[in-house]
């Protein structure tokens, strides 16, 4: 179920603007990797490069190579929609489809993939909602609008929607930044549970969160505004937070970084 992501010398551009410079990292299957760093340092850009979501913006491109189990994600012959099915994504703000019910939201991805059979969809909806720790809260109101849930529930709904299509890798772009601490904990618990099945990469501004949930941590930074972001240090989470090699990492983690 889970696959390995390998980035080597990935540079990402928006038009002529270089957003990240030469990032290399290997993400092992069934681990949680946290990407931390100040705003505008390219963590999200790197994350969106992995499932080619950054291509939604015009003139976006990358240099270097990104592979999933040794297959090139950016191979010109690869279907970009297939990449995104393989590598799911959860966004910063919960974004359930406002016109759809809870049930319809969860099975939206499956329907896009041509699954029509009601029994299959029902099963998948129940399994995904259970995996997302949301089933007990919504099982009696699956036909109600997804946007009517609380923020934390909506985010878990979005996670259920993402894992319903059974991706190999789940990317999370600051999934808790719009949530209260209790919902945040619920999502973190969920991440531990999902780790058995998926490779998870999470961008977060919350360093306690990175320390709590992740196996490995990558620290991104920029020298000054307008410069491309770089991966400063990438190591076991424990090492990053207790004994980082780089001075910059230590400054950031201890709060001495601007």
By beta-carbon proximity to another protein, the closer residue of 36 and 169 is 169
Smallest distance, another protein to C-beta of residue 149, A: 9
Smallest distance, another protein to C-beta of residue 23, A: 21
Smallest distance, another protein to C-beta of residue 241, A: 30
Closest Cα partner for 241 from 213, 220, 210, 204?
A: 210
Secondary structure (3-state) at 54:
helix
By beta-carbon proximity to another protein, the closer residue of 25 and 100 is 100
> How many Å from the N-terminal Cα to the C-terminal Cα in the chain?
40
Closest Cα partner for 154 from 169, 134, 139, 140?
A: 134
By beta-carbon proximity to another protein, the closer residue of 102 and 232 is 102
Structure tokens at 63: 């240099």
By beta-carbon proximity to another protein, the closer residue of 13 and 97 is 97
12-16 own/partner pairs: CB under 8 Å, 24+ apart = 12/42, 12/45, 12/46, 12/49, 12/54, 12/60, 12/61, 12/62, 12/63, 13/59, 13/60, 13/61, 13/62, 13/63, 14/54, 14/57, 14/59, 14/60, 15/58, 15/59, 15/60
Smallest distance, another protein to C-beta of residue 83, A: 8
Smallest distance, another protein to C-beta of residue 88, A: 7
Output phi, psi for 66, to 5 deg: -125, 125
Smallest distance, another protein to C-beta of residue 99, A: 4
By beta-carbon proximity to another protein, the closer residue of 89 and 132 is 89
By beta-carbon proximity to another protein, the closer residue of 36 and 86 is 86
Which residues contribute to the site for another protein (CB under 8 A)?
51, 53, 56, 81-82, 84-85, 88-89, 91, 93, 95-101, 108-109, 112-113, 144-145, 147-148, 158, 161-162, 165
Contact 54/60 with Cβ under 8 angstroms?
A: yes
Query: Strand 17-27 and strand 5-14: pairing?
Result: antiparallel
């Amino acid at each position: 179920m889970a696959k390995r992501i390998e980035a080597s010398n990935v540079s990402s551009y928006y038009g002529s603007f270089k957003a990240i410079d030469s990032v290399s990292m290997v993400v092992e299957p069934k681990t949680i990797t946290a990407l931390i760093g100040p705003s505008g340092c390219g963590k999200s850009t790197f994350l969106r490069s992995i499932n080619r979501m950054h291509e939604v913006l015009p003139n976006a491109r990358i240099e270097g190579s990104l592979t999933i189990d040794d297959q090139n994600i950016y191979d010109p012959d690869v279907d970009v929609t297939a990449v995104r099915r393989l590598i799911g994504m959860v966004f910063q703000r919960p974004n359930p489809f406002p016109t759809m019910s809870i049930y319809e939201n969860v099975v939206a991805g499956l329907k896009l993939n041509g699954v029509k059979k009601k029994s299959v969809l029902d099963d998948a909806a129940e399994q995904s909602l259970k995996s997302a720790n949301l089933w007990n809260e919504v099982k009696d109101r699956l036909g109600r609008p997804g946007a009517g849930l609380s923020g934390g529930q909506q985010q878990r709904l979005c996670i259920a929607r993402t894992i319903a299509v059974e991706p190999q890798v789940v990317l999370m772009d600051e999934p808790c930044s719009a949530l209260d601490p209790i919902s945040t904990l619920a999502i973190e618990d969920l991440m531990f549970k999902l780790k058995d099945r998926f490779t998870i990469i999470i961008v977060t501004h919350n360093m306690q969160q990175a320390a709590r949930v992740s196996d490995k941590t990558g620290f991104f930074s920029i020298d000054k505004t307008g410069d491309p972001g770089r991966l400063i240090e990438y190591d076991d989470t424990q090492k990053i937070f207790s004994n980082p090699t780089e001075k910059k990492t230590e400054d950031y983690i201890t709060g001495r970084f601007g």
